[in-house]
Structure 1
């Protein structure tokens, strides 16, 4: 006898995430996690606001206790190479042996770059390689990293980071918009505390939440989906669909939103592939041509990207409908409406024309950038992802 099995369900799931800690006031246990990693002198990497706001930084200081080596509160949304180099110099000066990344995606990305730079024997050679190729080499022997997220972007359990440089800030002759990636960049631990998420300004938090929410959506329809990511993404979306609409109300459910964010990103970043796909590719294309948060870009384009998907393939619409609590005769229409409803509840622009900095004349260039993004490889077979087709999606979103 043979087991009945569809050959298309074969999969390999190679995922080695950070140790995950979650709970109210969990950041006060940060010192215990640092001790488990053998860190006695940690550098906290944070933004210029996050790292100087008492409600955010004080619990981190108290949690790290005697294992705190210093605070580097200089990261910015630009994720600049010169900032990472300054952080690496601070790490050296303080004799640190580990890093705590505190904040949103920008701080976590700069912390990843600092982590790579301090492990390089020849730092200037690494900088030169970044200037030439746009990729910062990642050596072995990285110091331990603990991430303490304060947003809901779901970029915490990551194998990569963005990094930029301009001639004005040194080290490059022409602007470079690149990054770094390697399996070793996965943090060693992640500490999730709803109290810290509650300190993030509502506008920033809501935009980040759309980014995190879309990770769950894409994990269900991407060609790289697995039964494991199906389970975590579906449960995460069920939590987020209820929690995200509360963020702008009188009783925000930060805990449910944070738990949902942990789940939707679980398994997204793997050495053998990612479940990010068309919506995130559009996010990269839009933010490359206009200054906006990824979540704002997602909000305007996600419903139209999904409509494009469903017009050409099944896109696992029934699974998405179930995860989003959709009860409609046409599950595809219901999913598109549900995603738009979450976007509206978060107070994000519904049209690209309402997003500052986006020009209609730039849509062909944005479409070309999106079509060239590596994440389009994860879009299901049969969906048109050439520049002309994607420009049509942008026109619909305009």
Structure 2
């Protein structure tokens, strides 16, 4: 039997008003000068001022792309070095948090990101990085407690650096910062949370504590997401979704599956990650609930209003009710490159922990069905 590892180590400060402890947490880490990494939407929403009212950054990089890139990380690294920073604070969704992780890595390691990615470099070579504090403004990726940084490299491929040294040293999770999130972005990021719970529970890795958390993620997000989309000012729904997102990030250590294995390479096209997950989710579940029927039954028990439906049908109906796109063609995508994306998905490290790794032919069938 393989020796399992259970690891829940990220300090999380959670609750309305949690942003107020940012200065204290920087002090605990010994960070005196930090780079604030964020994006234009966060600036426009006035959330940067919420941070600067608490503590002043030494520099601000506010040009994080919607899908983070190595090129942007290099620009942010220049700002980090010019201001002589000794830490990074990420303010935003998964894109800003992943970019901040890349900056912290590059600031302390030689070479380029490709040297440290899964499947092409040596992720095990990643050592201690500059301290990172993550302040999420969406309830979605769980990157604030995760060990992965996914970016599009300079060669155009999307790849992930995965190592425990990339886990933020603290996650400050303040639901106040999510209240202004627009409905469709709330839905898209929220479906990512649901996917994390579903995929982690289906994962072939042995980790019973993560299984229990994953079931709670599924139940909590399915119950709270519709209300968060309908009424973004519902503080209870926003708090529940952010909590589900944090817990969804905690179960990444169990591995995900074919949904993310496919949407990660598709993400290099620039489409929103959560929306891609929403479109692909029912089609992957149609396969996985047959590969692991007992797990599918247990997942259904965590949901309301299943009433004899399969998981794939339930998720299809749930996504439709949220108003999210349900076809890749609705995003403006063409079939060009489907075979290449299917082959990349088969090689993705996340495919290894699907109940059974899917083949390129199966991924191609999923893409055609989702088109």
TM-score, normalised with respect to structure 2: 0.89
- Give per-residue Cα distances to partners, 1:167-190, cap 9 Å, x unaligned: xxxxxxx54543423221111000
1:75 is paired with a residue of what secondary structure?
Answer: coil
Name the counterpart of 2:317.
Answer: 341
Contact 1:119–1:139, Cα closer than 8 Å, also in 2: no
User: Which of 200, 207, 213 is residue 232 of structure 1 equivalent to?
Assistant: 213
Deviations 1:288-334 (A, max 9, x none): 4x4311111111111111111223442511210111235534xxx34
The aligned counterpart of 2:72 is 83
For 1:208-227, what per-residue CA distance to the aligned partner results, in whole angstroms no more than 9, with x for missing partners? 11112100011111101521
Structure 2 distance, partners of 1:84, 1:285, is 19
Q: Partner of 1:325: helix, strand, or coil?
A: coil
The aligned residue for residue 259 of structure 2 is 279
Q: Which deviates more, 100-109 or 197-206?
A: 197-206
Task: Give the structure 1 partner of residue 167 of structure 2.
Answer: 186
Q: Distance in 1 between matches of 2:3 and 2:126?
A: 30
CA root-mean-square deviation: 2.6
Distance 1:327 1:127 in 2: 44
**Would the alpha carbon gap of residues 327 and 90 (structure 1) be closer, same or farther in structure 2, given more than 3 Å must change?**
closer
Residue 216 in 1 paired to residue 208 in 2? no
2:62 to 39, 62, 73: 73
Structure-to-structure mapping, 1:212-361, within 5 angstroms = 212-250=193-231, 251-252=233-234, 253-269=237-253, 274-288=254-268, 290-314=269-293, 316-329=295-308, 333-357=309-333, 359-361=334-336
Q: Which residue of 1 aligns with 2:339?
A: 364
Instruction: Tell me the residue number matched to 1:92.
Output: 81
TM-score (norm 1): 0.83
CA distance in 2, matches of 1:350, 1:79: 24
Counterparts of 1:93-112 in structure 2, within 5 Å, are 93-112=82-101
Distance 2:332 2:206 in 1: 34
SS at match of 1:360: coil
Q: Distance in 1 between matches of 2:259 and 2:326?
A: 15
Q: Is the 8 A contact 2:89 2:135 kept in 1?
A: yes
